[in-house]
Copies of this chain bind each other. A is one copy, B any other.
């Protein structure tokens, strides 16, 4: 099956043409499924392609068509469940549309390394860029250092309205979580937040506060975390000292996990003494002690939609080059749902 090659070098279009007894142009037509090729010719060409194990050189094609076959993704925290899932969604959707995906993971959030990562992507190798879960400043840096005219989509974080954005409906997710707790009779709900410079963390803080206010409840002070179980643990130790804490909403499941551990250590029972809700529905959530009630956003869907949006931008650009970039591009929200498990119970 290896394919016959001339002199070890991979076959090129003219090899195929020679073997099939046609011109390179005709082979090209077959490759691109263009009309006006006799059926018999087509099959002869296809046979030659098979025999030589020929694969079109995408760099050559991209060069003449002046268009890349790849989507660039700038991703932070790609080891975490949320971003990793989104990346997966992006990868699948892109592949389905015939695009490759190249990923740049800046070393850190500082402007320099982001701009650098960006520059790598933009050397005419990508047709567009998606930034995933950046911080406010990171997103700004990244998107502003884009060469003009390169289509871009932001996941969860755009510096302003200049770039189409796909986001989880944080407000809705947080609302159902907090209201679930209030309905169980808890007088108020504490919040362990993600890092403040991250836009999704910020959005969750605001939604939590807004929901409490709407219900006429006092909003306690935010307990700051950084997404990690460690920070959730520290927050838990802090909350354990406080009086009257009966319900806590953590901005992600990892921190909720740390909370559970801290409460356990201090002899505080969950959910009898304190109810805990997380966010993300990591695959382990149902197997914590106790199983964690949490908000489930469809991260993969976010990835799919961001690709969809980006491709629309790219196509639109081809069609009418003069048109403004965000014209007619919807800003999709992905709505999360509440998953009820054993970590929440009526107020004591």
* In the complex, A43 has a CB within 8 A of chain B: no
Which residues of chain B are near A69, meaning CB under 8 Å?
Answer: 125
* In the complex, A312 has a CB within 8 A of chain B: no
Q: Looking at the complex, which of A17-25, A51-59, A328-336 is the stretch in contact with chain B?
A: A51-59
- Which chain B residue lies CB-closest to A125? B58
Complex: A122 Cα to B261 Cα, angstroms:
47
> Is A92 a contact of B107 with CB atoms below 8 Å?
yes
* In the complex, A218 has a CB within 8 A of chain B: no
- Which chain B residue lies CB-closest to A119? B55
Known: A147-B3, A264-B289. A124 touches B229 (CB 8 A): no
Complex: A88 Cα to B83 Cα, angstroms:
12
| A307 vs chain B, min Cβ distance (A) | 13
> Is A230 a contact of B55 with CB atoms below 8 Å?
no
Complex: A11 Cα to B60 Cα, angstroms:
19
- Which chain B residue lies CB-closest to A230? B287
Q: Which residues 18-76 of A sit at the B interface, judged by CB distance below 8 A?
A: 53, 55-60, 62-63, 68-70
Which residues of chain B are near A101, meaning CB under 8 Å?
Answer: 102-103
Complex interface bits, A92-109 against B, C-beta within 8 A gives 1, otherwise 0? 100100001111110100
* In the complex, A8 has a CB within 8 A of chain B: yes
| A147 vs chain B, min Cβ distance (A) | 6
Copies in the complex: 2
> Is B287 a contact of A232 with CB atoms below 8 Å?
yes
Known: A55-B122, A95-B117. A148 touches B79 (CB 8 A): no
Which residues of chain B are near A92, meaning CB under 8 Å?
Answer: 105, 107
Partner of A81, one of B60, B79, B229: B79
* In the complex, A254 has a CB within 8 A of chain B: yes
* In the complex, A10 has a CB within 8 A of chain B: yes
Decide if the interface of chain A is mainly helix, strand, loop or mixed: mixed
> Is B286 a contact of A123 with CB atoms below 8 Å?
no
Q: Which residues 226-267 of A sit at the B interface, judged by CB distance below 8 A?
A: 228-230, 232-233, 254, 257-258, 260-261, 264
Complex: A69 Cα to B100 Cα, angstroms:
14
- Which chain B residue lies CB-closest to A5? B148
> Is B119 a contact of A91 with CB atoms below 8 Å?
no
> Is A148 a contact of B230 with CB atoms below 8 Å?
no
Which residues of chain B are near A289, meaning CB under 8 Å?
Answer: 260-261, 264, 289
* In the complex, A284 has a CB within 8 A of chain B: yes
Complex: A283 Cα to B254 Cα, angstroms:
9
| A146 vs chain B, min Cβ distance (A) | 10
| A46 vs chain B, min Cβ distance (A) | 15
* In the complex, A2 has a CB within 8 A of chain B: yes
* In the complex, A325 has a CB within 8 A of chain B: no
- Which chain B residue lies CB-closest to A264? B289
| A143 vs chain B, min Cβ distance (A) | 13
> Is A229 a contact of B88 with CB atoms below 8 Å?
no
Which residues of chain B are near A59, meaning CB under 8 Å?
Answer: 59-60, 62-63, 68, 124-125
**Nearest 8 A/B pairs, CB to CB:** A229-B287, A57-B124, A229-B284, A59-B59, A261-B287, A79-B84, A102-B102, A58-B123
Known A-B contacts: A57-B124, A79-B84. Give 10 more (CB < 8 A).
Answer: A5-B148, A8-B148, A53-B147, A58-B125, A63-B63, A79-B85, A79-B88, A100-B125, A229-B287, A254-B284
